[in-house]
Amino acid sequence: MNGSAWDERAPAGVLAGAAVDALRAADARAGGVYLNSRTPGLLRLAVLAGLPGPLFRPWWRVSVDRPFPVADAHRLGVPVILANATEAMRRYPQYAAGLPFQFGTLNVPVAADGRAFGVMTVLCAASADAGEVLASRERLTLVADGLAAALLRRQAVGRTVTWDDEPLCVRPPAAGPPPGRVGHLAWDPVTGAVTADEPARALLGLAPDERPGTLDALARTVDPTDAQRLPALLRETAQGRPPPRPVQLRTADGGLRLLELWAARSAPSAPVTGVLLDPGPGALADGAADLLPEGVFCLDRLGLIVYANPRAAHLLGAERSRLLGRSLWEAVPWLNQPACDEHLRGALLSPEEPVHFHVRRPGPADEDRGSGPRPYEGDWLSVAVFPGPDLLTCTAVPANRVPHAPGGPVSAAAADAGTEAPARDAVASTAPLYRPIVLAIALTEAVTARQVSAVVMQELLPAFGGRRLAIYLLQERHLYLAWETGFPEGFLAPFEGVALDARLPGVETLTTGRPIFFDSMQQLADAYPGIPLDATEGARAFLPLIASGRPVGSCILGFDRPRSFSSEERTVLTALAGLIAHAMEKAQRYDTEAALARGLQQALLPGRLPRHARVETVGRYLPGTEGMEVGGDWYDVVGAGDGLALVIGDVQGHGVQAAATMGQLRSAVRAFALGDRPPEEVMGGTNLLLIDLDPGQFASCCYVRLDPATGLARAVNAGHPPPLLRHPDGRTHAVELPGGVVLGVDPRAHYPVAELRLEPGAILALYTDGLVERPGHDIDDGITALRTTLAAAGAPPERSLADVADRLTATARQATDRPDDIALLLATPLP
């Protein structure tokens, strides 16, 4: 499909077309597109093809800094390919724990003209054929590039290219005949003309030569209860607001039809096209399955029930008319539970073998079924799901009447006790363990309290549908806010620093060690009269954070709507609170060590640089924001005879050990420089000292001995990025020094000397790799970008040297995540 055709579509049409084209390109049955949202650093699933949206709600949102394939493809700007589950577990254990099924995935950036819009992803059969995977990647890249070009054109004319809604769910290209009769119709709101092909006219009950012609005529073909709704749906679609899912209609003779609508382009009063589908039993051997003694129902790949025999309706406790054309979770609400979701995901993603599981049906005391048929007596159903390219065929029988069950019948005692007795070939559900596993893996990668809190927000909130999170940590018998999101600005301020004797749920959950759940804000207000409440009416969960019997703090989850918490959810949330508490306790220890390392490093870095009548120097240091937040970068300016020694270095690693090694190296270099030793001897002696110390670390270093009177500089380099030299006329280049190996590796290492001359007004820039290195990008590109910035920054006297240093570090200073610390040293000879 060419770009101009895409430009004529509404955003939904652009994305839906791209997703379907992606499935064709990669010969896949499922996939989608993630786009940037209005929330910085957050991708949202914009379109999902071939899979039901509700089953994949935990993956609707992906933080770009999480170790997930989609996030890495977006952040690094490179395709991420996982040929099978083994490779997924090796490279992305958190992702594999959440979707523990046999499939492969291709993730390709959607980017154009230096702008990253999102990621196109497809899920396909696991493969060991590298050539086949690479060919699929190339075809998928072409589709992703086409979508990126369309989005770029939309952005150029001021149209939206972000996504903040629920994902669109679209059907994949059919692998075989459609499950029922399908027809197509269209309406032009400008002329008022309605056109319908022959299958659509037949589905509407019209004669072969009869055509609806107008919107009023079309409305007369459906049941009077839908006659007004149908024109309204078409008008809303023409204005760019198509219904998010297929609409159920009844024809004049009572037949059930499904109608999907979309606008042909995004302009007002756009032509509307639609697909009319008959989901009735004629699609399945003319209703032969109606006669089977076991329950049979079929789902399409979006989770809609397209067939159910009378026995299935009886066992599921719903009229057939209420099943057909509706999603499984809407038609049979009690199947909306983690165990069922996990098995259906497995059937959709690993279609090689059928999936078997047992599910407990609610009894009359559990819910009111209204006037629908009563399910078969007995608490459990044995369900089998048989995957197909377009349909999932499901069978259901009472669990205490399983024919040929290897494990025998389910005992009445087991049913009364509420325990499950599945057949031996049943697949055990991992759903109750899923979130603890995923959260535990994610928390192992979080080091600071801020990172732990971010993981909880990204993993815990979406799993339970929460919108608000607050984490309080205990310090000297008072609770202090460590993280919050979603609450109104300033709402939590009155709770800051509350003592442990305050009567508040966040305090009492910690002092009693018991979680507290409120189904609504009214329940909370009744239990704690006078407590400040925000504007929502939603539920709240207060969880104690206790690690190894020691109180750490409390966690508050907030929901926008009232809801109840099942016993399973309460158990899982309590277990998750324990994981969070242990991670927070570990983070507090790291924060203590980081504070010690920061103090040590600040003490070792020069408080101020020495003044010289002929040379001006400026230094900058930015700590990293990940891990221990301190590293071994340092800079120094030392008087050396009648000249100056300019030094910059970087010790491998982070933390107290790196800071201590840095201090020892800085002292050694200063001692050699104060004795005005030649540069090659300074570097050689420092190398031997580091080898003798044997800290298990190495370091890079650049040492420049400058003669201010002549501007002559003699430099040596031990594996460090090359200095940059800006001439007074603005020309800037990297100074290529003859290389020596890093310090601490080879006792016989030789460090050759290079000479260069600095004119008055020139700027020499020494820096560490944290300033020029970005994941997924060549360091040479970073050096080129820094050189360009230095060339444009100006020089004294037009711009102060301090201003130049600030410009060179501006981008790094504004970044919220710096994986490495940064050191910068500038020097300029004065006239």
| Higher pLDDT, residue 127 or 468 | 468
**Cα angle 704, 710, 714; round to 5:** 25
Residue with the two structure tokens 């899920």 = 123
**Cα-to-chain-centroid distance, residue 455:** 11
DSSP 3-state assignment of 580? helix
**pLDDT of the residue at 198:** 86
- Collect all residues with Cβ–Cβ distance below 8 Å to 647 and sequence separation of at least 6: 634, 635, 636, 637, 638, 666, 669, 673, 701, 702, 703, 704, 766, 825
**What is the pLDDT averaged over residues 526-552?**
86
| Percentage above 90 pLDDT, the chain | 23
Report residue 686 as tokens: 């420092």
- Full-model pTM: 0.50
Tell which residue, 23, 33, 105, 29, has the closest CA to residue 62. 33
DSSP 3-state assignment of 716? strand
Residue 673 class from Cβ within 10 Å (0-12 exposed, 13-18 middle, 19+ buried)?
buried
pLDDT digits (tens, 9 = 90+) for 438-472: 666 667 667 777 778 887 877 777 767 778 888 99
pLDDT digits (tens, 9 = 90+) for 605-636: 776 788 888 999 999 988 776 544 556 788 99
Tell which residue, 103, 41, 496, 407, has the closest CA to residue 504. 496
Helix (H) or strand (E) holding 827: strand 822-829
CB 763, CB 723: distance < 8 Å:
no
How many CA atoms within 13 Å lie on the side-chain side of 94? 21
DSSP 3-state assignment of 193? coil
Residue 17 identity: G
Long-range contacts of 488-494 (CB under 8 A, 24+ apart): 488/534, 488/535, 491/532, 491/534, 494/532
Q: CA quadruple 637, 641, 643, 649: dihedral positive or negative?
A: negative
**pLDDT of the residue at 296:** 84
Q: 240 vs 38, 184, 787, CA distance in Å?
A: 20, 19, 48
**pLDDT of the residue at 766:** 96
Residue 490 identity: G
Q: Of all residues in the chain, what percent are helix, strand and coil, respectively (each to 5)?
A: 35, 25, 40
CA distance 501 to 130: 63
Q: How many helices (H) and strands (E) does the chain have?
A: 24, 34
DSSP conformation class of 289: G
Residue 167 has pLDDT above 80, yes or no: yes
pLDDT digits (tens, 9 = 90+) for 36-57: 988 888 899 999 988 888 888 8
pLDDT digits (tens, 9 = 90+) for 742-755: 998 888 999 999 99
E-state strands within 309-437: 355-360, 380-387, 391-398
First to last CA, the chain: 64
- Average pLDDT across the chain, whole number: 80
Residue 681 has pLDDT above 50, yes or no: yes
Tell which residue, 138, 137, 143, has the closest CA to residue 124. 137
pLDDT digits (tens, 9 = 90+) for 156-166: 887 778 898 88
Helix (H) or strand (E) holding 91: helix 85-91
Confidence of residue 420 (pLDDT cuts 50, 70, 90): very low
CA distance 801 to 795: 7
**Cα-to-chain-centroid distance, residue 702:** 40
Residue 714 class from Cβ within 10 Å (0-12 exposed, 13-18 middle, 19+ buried)?
middle
pLDDT digits (tens, 9 = 90+) for 280-321: 544 444 445 566 677 888 888 888 888 888 888 889 888 887
Confidence of residue 265 (pLDDT cuts 50, 70, 90): low
For 295-341, what is the HEC assignment? EEEEEECCCEEEEECHHHHHHHCCCHHHHCCCEHHHHCHHHCCHHHH
| Higher pLDDT, residue 362 or 284 | 362
CA distance 798 to 786: 20
What are 755's strand-pairing partners?
A: 714
Q: Which residues of 438-457 are buried (b: 16+ CB within 10 A; e: fewer)?
A: bbbbbbeebbbbbbbbbbbb
**What is the pLDDT averaged over residues 103-120?**
91
Of 53-62, 274-283, 431-440, 583-592, highest mean pLDDT: 53-62
| Beta strand pairing call for 256-263 and 168-170 | unpaired
CA distance 361 to 295: 14
Residue 572 has pLDDT above 90, yes or no: no
Tell which residue, 545, 540, 587, has the closest CA to residue 564. 540
Q: Centre a 10 Å sphere on the Cβ of residue 784 and count the other Cβ atoms it contains.
A: 13
CA distance 215 to 206: 15
Backbone Cα Rg of the chain: 33
CA distance 331 to 341: 15
What are 740's strand-pairing partners?
A: 718
Confidence of residue 548 (pLDDT cuts 50, 70, 90): confident
Lowest mean pLDDT among 290-299, 468-477, 534-543, 654-663: 654-663
- Collect all residues with Cβ–Cβ distance below 8 Å to 304 and sequence separation of at least 6: 246, 258, 279, 325, 326, 327, 328
Tell which residue, 278, 259, 258, 260, has the closest CA to residue 202. 278
CA distance 621 to 633: 8
**pLDDT of the residue at 378:** 45
| Higher pLDDT, residue 626 or 801 | 801
CA distance 541 to 546: 16
CA distance 151 to 13: 12
Q: Centre a 10 Å sphere on the Cβ of residue 598 and count the other Cβ atoms it contains.
A: 16
CA distance 472 to 551: 11
Longest dimension (CA), the chain: 105
Q: Centre a 10 Å sphere on the Cβ of residue 514 and count the other Cβ atoms it contains.
A: 12
CA distance 166 to 48: 10
What are 629's strand-pairing partners?
A: none
**Cα angle 214, 220, 223; round to 5:** 145
Tell which residue, 304, 87, 290, 86, has the closest CA to residue 180. 304
